[in-house]
Amino acid sequence: MSEDVTYATLTFQDSVAAGNNQDRNNLRKRVYPAASSIWRQAALGLLTLCLMLLIGLMSSEINSDSDKLTQLQKIIHQQQDNLSQQLSEYSNFPVEEEFLKSQISSLLKRQGQMAIKLCQELIIHTS
């Protein structure tokens, strides 16, 4: 008994893809120009709104940055004033130092004179 084997190549059309292609073609035909312009206007409006919000955020950030800059400038001026006050106080130190040195030397001279007088009086009383 001989068996004959026959091979056949079958090609099936993808029914889902064919349906989608038909639906797309139908949608393209059904789109009305008025609906398209409405969507364009809505998209343009949303784009404008987003741009306005972005500009608003940027301007508020700039304002907050300028406030911070003003505060920093105030702090810098305060520190400069404090530094100039400290420098003026330190510049008076050499004058005060000379004054104190002269007072100390005069006090040492007086102390020496008083010690001499005390010794002289002690010698007078003991003799």
Distance between CA atoms of residues 6 and 89, nearest Å: 115
Neighbours of 14 (CB within 10 A): 9
Distance between CA atoms of residues 50 and 44, nearest Å: 10
Q: Which residue has the tokens 């073609």?
A: 25
Please determine, for residue 29, whether its predicted confidence score (pLDDT) is greater than 60.
no
- pTM of the model as a whole: 0.36
Calculate the average pLDDT of the chain.
81
Query: What integer is the mean pLDDT of 118-125?
Result: 87
Report pLDDT digits (tens) over 40-76: 888 999 999 999 999 988 888 887 778 888 888 999 9
pLDDT value at position 88?
A: 81
The domain locations on the chain are: 9-79, 92-127
